[in-house]
Structure 1
Amino acid sequence: MNKMCSNEIKSVLLKTLIRFNDFCEKNDIKYSLAYGTALGAIRHKGFIPWDDDIDVLMMRSEYNKFEAAWGNYIKSHNDHYKLWPELDEENYFIVYVAKFFDTDTTLYEYFSKGKVIEYGIFIDIFVLDHIPVEKSEQKKLFLDVRFYWKWIQHFQRHFKKWNKFVRKYNLSLPSLDMMVNKLMERKDRYNRELTPLVSMIQDYQKKKDINLSIFKYEWFHDYILTDFEGYKFPIIKAYDEMLKNSYGDYMQLPPKDQQVGHNIDAYWR
């Protein structure tokens, strides 16, 4: 395999976003550029110079539409793009994000403790769920979700044969599927209520300040198009509030020591 340079990675990322956007438009699915991608669009009209990934946000209802539409499409089409769904055994190690990636490339992402994950150059799809307004109820929900995710990862890593056995005979025993179902039952309560706040609930364990992952539901009612690398992509109309929530004075560049990308290597297949 031939190793890719930064510009080649960004070129593939842009093509992947274009493919993702075309599919969403065709299937009437709403999403917004998010995090560093949204910041790059507003501040740089494209990639942040040192960034090397694409982030998008979807409400749970829109993500469910996307996952179902892509699943139906891929049954009858050959495509070099692949979706790792958020709640899929192949993707449980990620714990809080779906990935849409180009299988004509190979990407190695290096994590702490020597962990290395292999996929293709990808878009991260962050899924938003409704959460309670009361802080005490929020904390309880976040802790419950973290509890179930730890069990999901435990069953996924260490009980593969057991999971297959329980699934085969449809047994009501602790297993991977049971924990996934309990997780979604816990989250869907607030999705049914359509509370005024939304969050990437599983991201709780990764953030020192959970408020950075909490947004107003009303922000995701209206979308506009923004420039990104010469193309137009959707972003929530309330992008200023979203970016201030995550970055503060987002038009100011961070210190040089923070201008770094992810720990990755990418190759052409």
Structure 2
Amino acid sequence: MNTKKQHHLTSEELKKLQNVELELLIEFDRICRKHEITYSIDGGTLLGAVRHGGFIPWDDDADVILTRNEYEKFLLIVDQELNTDKFYLQDVNRTSGYRWGYAKLRRKNTDFIRLNQEHMPYEQGIFLDIFIGDNVPDNYISRCICNFRSFIYRKIFYSEVGKFTASGISKYLYKILNSIPENTVKNSYNRYVKFRNKKSTELVKCLTFPACNRVYGYKREWYEDTIDMQFEGVTLRACRNYEDYLKFLYGDYLTLPAIENRKVHPVSKLTFPTDN
């Protein structure tokens, strides 16, 4: 595999990127409000709304989250409601070659290609991450087992990238995991998701996304009890108890991190829409 060099965003490109991501947030919010689908802005997007009134100045992505039930409602209407002149939705069941346990709403006529993912066989436009909260056991031991099983699925999915980027024994293990046929992995994962959601629980988690700590779960109410919140001059939905949620995620969330800890996505290609 021929890896490309990382493209470092200029401040002008970062602002243009955030403007496109705001488009995606507005479209997602429009659909959810029209059909009474409950969601919350999430992660750095929620932190940015609270701490900066919008994007964290150096942030290069946008995140929302909703429970599995709400996501299923979203899937039922998205093909009729989505402005397909500008946007498209990807998830593990809709998109061949897509290997992530959360969905992405993307902007047409753009590129945001992650470094070392140039070979992935699907379109990679500028995106909004749509995280899905699946039920996880309230019992801690059972939840740890659930987290380990989810970790295995995550590594199998990631093996399409890891077989190129890892080194040593990890590279060898990723190659073994990558030999499992895509349909086999996806069918197994879908059965696992169905199993996890048979019983409602107090805690939920995006199964194939790393937990922020060893609790391995998040309060369901954080994603189901939401309020309006301003973000870059528009109104989006956000966790009502955002203070507790952000403390859980980040600790002292009002203090800016050191410059060296301000993370961005390594990207090899970035292009912007020409149809505005």
TM-score bin, normalised by smaller chain: 0.7 to 0.9
Task: Pick which of 7-16 and 248-257 moved more.
Answer: 7-16
* Counterpart Cα distance in 2 of 1:182 and 1:25: 33
The alpha-carbon deviation at position 200 of structure 1 amounts to 1.1
* Counterpart Cα distance in 2 of 1:64 and 1:100: 15
What aligned pairs does 1:4-19 form with structure 2 within 5 A after superposition?
5-19=13-27
Q: Which amino acid aligns with 1:195?
A: T
Residue of structure 2 in register with 1:35 after alignment: 43
* Counterpart Cα distance in 2 of 1:71 and 1:223: 25
Report if aligned partners of 2:92, 2:103 keep a CA contact under 8 Å in 1: yes
Residue of structure 2 in register with 1:268 after alignment: 272
Report if aligned partners of 1:84, 1:91 keep a CA contact under 8 Å in 2: no
Instruction: State which of 214, 237, 241 in structure 2 corresponds to 1:234.
Output: 237
Report if aligned partners of 1:103, 1:120 keep a CA contact under 8 Å in 2: yes
Q: What whole-Å deviation, never above 9, does each CA across 1:214-268 have from its counterpart, x for those lacking one?
A: 2111223311011111111100111111111110010111112112422234213
Q: Indicate the RMSD between aligned Cα atoms, in angstroms.
A: 2.8
Report if aligned partners of 1:91, 1:98 keep a CA contact under 8 Å in 2: no
* Counterpart Cα distance in 2 of 1:239 and 1:43: 11
Instruction: State which of 79, 99, 106 in structure 1 corresponds to 2:85.
Output: 79
Q: Which runs of 5+ in 2 are unaligned?
A: 1-9, 164-179
Q: Which amino acid aligns with 2:237?
A: P
Instruction: State which of 209, 214, 225 in structure 1 corresponds to 2:213.
Output: 209
Residue of structure 2 in register with 1:252 after alignment: 255
* Counterpart Cα distance in 2 of 1:21 and 1:200: 20
TM-score by length of 1: 0.80
Instruction: State which of 79, 89, 96 in structure 1 corresponds to 2:101.
Output: 96
* Counterpart Cα distance in 2 of 1:225 and 1:80: 25
Instruction: State which of 195, 198, 201 in structure 2 corresponds to 1:195.
Output: 201
Report if aligned partners of 2:37, 2:73 keep a CA contact under 8 Å in 1: yes
* Counterpart Cα distance in 2 of 1:262 and 1:27: 32
**Structure 1 residues 100 and 78, CA, compared in 2 at 3 Å: closer, same or farther?**
closer
* Counterpart Cα distance in 2 of 1:227 and 1:70: 24
**Structure 1 residues 132 and 9, CA, compared in 2 at 3 Å: closer, same or farther?**
same
SS of 1:5's partner is helix
Q: Which amino acid aligns with 1:233?
A: L
**Structure 1 residues 91 and 13, CA, compared in 2 at 3 Å: closer, same or farther?**
farther
* Counterpart Cα distance in 2 of 1:225 and 1:31: 11
Bigger strand share: 1
* Counterpart Cα distance in 1 of 2:205 and 2:223: 12
SS of 2:60's partner is coil
**Structure 1 residues 151 and 251, CA, compared in 2 at 3 Å: closer, same or farther?**
closer
Residue of structure 1 in register with 2:135 after alignment: 130
Aligned residues: 243
Q: 1:64 aligned to 2:63?
A: no
Report if aligned partners of 1:37, 1:48 keep a CA contact under 8 Å in 2: yes
Instruction: State which of 210, 218, 224 in structure 1 corresponds to 2:221.
Output: 218
Q: 1:184 aligned to 2:187?
A: no
Bigger helix share: 1
Q: Which amino acid aligns with 2:190?
A: M
Residue of structure 2 in register with 1:54 after alignment: 62
Q: What whole-Å deviation, never above 9, does each CA across 1:90-116 have from its counterpart, x for those lacking one?
A: 3533x2321001112122222xxx343
* Counterpart Cα distance in 1 of 2:38 and 2:108: 24
The alpha-carbon deviation at position 33 of structure 1 amounts to 0.5
**Percent same amino acid at aligned positions?**
30
**Structure 1 residues 214 and 259, CA, compared in 2 at 3 Å: closer, same or farther?**
same
Report if aligned partners of 1:92, 1:153 keep a CA contact under 8 Å in 2: no
Q: Which amino acid aligns with 1:99?
A: K
